[in-house]
Chains A and B, each alone.
Chain A
Amino acid sequence: MSLDKIKLDTVWMRLVDTEYGNDPDKMEQAFKTIYLEETGELFEGDVEVYHSSDSESTSNFKSHYDGTALSISSEGEHNLYVISQGTQGMEDWLYNIKGPFSGVTVKQVEAAKEFTEDAKRHFDINPEESEVISFNHSLGLHNSGMTGLTEGTFDEVYGVNGLMVSPYELARYDFAFAQEINNEFDLRNPKEIRDIPFAELRQFTVDYYRDNGTKIHNVVSEDDPLYSISEKFGFITEFSDTKIVDTNPDVSGLKEMIDKIPAPVIESLRVLATDYAEGDEKGGFNQSMNQLLGANLESLDEYSLGGAVKWYREHPEEVDQTISGLNDNLPRVLENIRLMEENSDVIFTELYKGGYITADQRKVMIEELGNLEKELTNLQEAVQFNVNMHDDDGWFDKIRRGIGDTGLAAVAAILYYKIPNSLDRIKESGTLESLEGIVESHSITEMLNALAGGNRSYVGKDLVFTSDAGGGDPIKVNMSAAMRLYTQGITSLEVKQTLISELETMVRDELEFAYKDEKWKVMREINNVESSPRSYAFELGQHRFPSYKVSFVNVHHEIYPLEQADLDEEIADMKLSVDTGFSYIENYRKAIEELFKEDEEVSTLFDLSRRI
């Protein structure tokens, strides 16, 4: 049995999708089930699993990287497959901004590399004899692609809706490449890389890595937002063979829409993202906003309590810092927001035409982006007003002299009320929820459905067959679930069988045997009383007769068998249910086979599923 079938799109993509469950104990079973469902064959080789959370050297990076390595061998072949997760939680989305889009950090790439090296050691992989293959979704392809491209970590890298690599991050990660850039473009410090005309930098990068030995394959949805945006951002797609698939025919391709957004808008997004990422790397969200706007958001809580005058009187330093920060940062932010506002009609009209948002949502977004631009302009003017009061003694003093100054009140009000109001209206419009359809196109399931042929489709992580044999509408059967019923259903019935036996024993112990115990205690006590009545004088009421003592006792014991204290009938019913349960499962199989009587594969799947 060759290992080649593991590289079938549907096999590895489902494997990547399953890996998101972060349950290494179930991965071997999941692999064999997917292999059977997709190839119709039983995988009889050996599978071993190693999760990144068990790799101490990978965890040391604290990068939020998640992955699973599978050592798979069959008939003399032995390969290592490393599955890397993509964007999962908020930390990963933040990482997208900080890493791939801004090139500020490369931690997950380092973690992906270390995990692969650790897995090679763990499974004693000999690179001369074994292939090291990487399967990825989204950000995972970016991480694996980066280390594959620069260090030859993998023989092959596969990705679904994979994020490619940018010259900035490559320069951050690959020292030799960075040196070459310095030489080629005469840079005096690494930050000057952002001054190189992008087209030139991009071409230089493509030429530099053109002959690397790693094969990268990327299967991408025409509607995938991450790929569309990243391509527009100048991520390099030439390093991979890319197959584009229309996964959502109901909407027009997102890529087409994004292509209509003018390049300067994209550049302005990059600037905002880089500012944000640098701030976040230094000190989290507040620091990011500080870096972006120059305003310390925490200080605004003080403003809300007592208005501008109180804010200033009690926290003059915070006010000074806010004004000073806004003065330095606002022009750049405003310039970028203005550029987006000028193009908001194009952006939101295209999203509306594409079917992603409603006409009302389009209207709200255009209006509110306009309001944001207007308020930020007002903010800049208010800040400027304060700054213009500056003289040689220092403009902070001037402000102090002008407590109650209208400019300061305006700054605070815009920051505290106007901007959040616009953001609230955007939130209330439901636009963000409507755009979730775009995120769906980033999913593996949508891709699997687009790739599926014949009567096959997918729901979540499961394989579905559709039958026309029902006489009415086509009938959809979840084959993965049917096989789980066929295999795990038997296990479940066996578990129930054990539980019923335990219940039976328990009823016997707690009632029937316990009654016998009590009976024995009573008989022992009767014996004690009868053989030694004087020891029980008090209990026998001797005190009632002062001149008499107990001399003899005869207990006329009447002890009946325990009655109506059992669950016999219910336990018998339970046992019968289990017995018929086994035939119920067999009948279920037959019913499904009946639906797919033209398709012999269904019977084979059932037969082989119990051998996994």
Chain B
Amino acid sequence: MSEFSIQESIVLIPEEDFSHKKSVLKRKIDEIQDEDQIFYKLANNVLVGEDQKGKVIDAMKDITTKRSSRDTGINERSLEKIPTIVRNFSNQVADMKTQSATITFKEVASLYD
């Protein structure tokens, strides 16, 4: 009776494509972007004409512009990040599915001993 063991990586579950998750997440951020547009359209209609000037007006315009570009920035950052986080997820899942194992084989005759 003889037996021996080897150590190697085994694929426990085949790899899977998770890229559809990107569009699911992107759609939700698109909805947030659309809602931002609704909000800033409401704000931008308040002052009639774009060339109006004055202390109060300038402050209102300034804060609206800053808020709007900050929100746009957050949304764009999120959109840019989605491929990365889905790829990270995908890679880590793939890593997890391949594990190192010690496999022991026994000679056939000995199996009937």
Contact = CB atoms under 8 A, between A and B. Distances in A.
30 contacts: A459-B48, A470-B52, A470-B54, A470-B55, A471-B54, A472-B54, A473-B54, A482-B46, A492-B35, A492-B42, A496-B35, A496-B39, A506-B28, A514-B21, A515-B93, A518-B96, A521-B13, A522-B97, A529-B12, A548-B108, A550-B103, A552-B103, A560-B96, A565-B86, A570-B74, A570-B77, A573-B74, A574-B32, A577-B67, A581-B67
A8 interface: no
A510 interface: yes
Contacts of A521: 13
Contacts of B70: 577
The size bracket of the interface on A is 35 or more
User: Which of B32, B46, B101 counts the most chain A CB atoms within 10 A?
Assistant: B46
A542 interface: yes
B74 to A, nearest CB: 5
B39 A493 contact: yes
Nearest to A459: B48
A549 B88 contact: no
A401 interface: no
A588 B60 contact: yes
Nearest to A536: B10
B32 A500 contact: yes
Nearest to B43: A485
Contacts of A506: 24-25, 28
Interface string A458-469: 010010100001
Nearest to A514: B89
A478 B99 contact: no
A469 B97 CA distance: 70
A575 B100 CA distance: 43
B41 to A, nearest CB: 9
Interface string A546-564: 0111111111111110111
B78 interface: yes
Interface string B24-62: 110011011001101100110111110011111101100
A573 B75 CA distance: 10
A511 B89 contact: yes
A180 interface: no
In terms of DSSP, what is the predominant structure of the interface of chain B? helix
A477 B46 contact: yes
A604 to B, nearest CB: 18
Q: Nearest 4 CB-CB pairs, A to B?
A: A470-B54, A481-B45, A476-B48, A548-B105
A151 interface: no
Interface in A572-609: 573-574, 577, 580-581, 584, 587-588, 591-592, 594-595
B39 A519 contact: no
B100 A556 contact: yes
Contacts of A580: 67
Nearest to B20: A510
B52 to A, nearest CB: 5
A551 B46 contact: no
Interface of A: 459, 462, 464, 469-473, 475-478, 481-482, 484-485, 488-489, 492-493, 495-496, 499-500, 502-503, 506-507, 510-511, 514-515, 518-519, 521-522, 525-526, 529, 533, 539-542, 545, 547-560, 562-567, 570, 573-574, 577, 580-581, 584, 587-588, 591-592, 594-595
Interface in B1-33: 3-5, 8, 10-13, 18, 21, 24-25, 28-29, 31-32
A507 B25 contact: yes
B106 A477 contact: no
A473 B56 contact: no
A555 B101 contact: yes
A475 B52 contact: yes
A529 B8 CA distance: 14
Given A475-B56, A591-B60, 20 more contacts: A475-B57, A476-B48, A488-B42, A525-B13, A542-B105, A547-B108, A548-B3, A548-B108, A549-B108, A550-B103, A551-B111, A552-B103, A553-B103, A555-B10, A556-B99, A560-B92, A567-B81, A577-B67, A581-B39, A591-B56
Contacts of A570: 74, 77-78, 81
Contact of A550 (B11, B31, B60, B105): B105
Contact-residue size bin, chain B (C-beta under 8 Å from the other chain): 35 or more
B46 A485 contact: yes
Contact of B85 (A518, A564, A587): A564
Contacts of A557: 99
A398 to B, nearest CB: 70
A514 to B, nearest CB: 7
Contacts of B11: 539
A581 B4 CA distance: 69
Contacts of A533: 103
Nearest to A511: B89
B57 A470 contact: yes
A451 to B, nearest CB: 19
B25 A492 contact: no
A419 B15 CA distance: 75
Nearest to B87: A565
B25 to A, nearest CB: 6
Contacts of A584: 63, 67
B17 to A, nearest CB: 13
Contact of B53 (A472, A488, A559, A560): A472
B107 A548 contact: yes
Nearest to B51: A473
B59 to A, nearest CB: 7
Contacts of B77: 570
A492 B38 contact: yes
Contact of A564 (B4, B88, B104): B88
A558 B92 CA distance: 11
A496 B101 contact: no
Given A464-B48, A489-B43, A588-B46, A563 B92 contact: yes
A536 to B, nearest CB: 8
Contacts of B67: 577, 580-581, 584
Contacts of B93: 515, 518
Contacts of B97: 518, 522
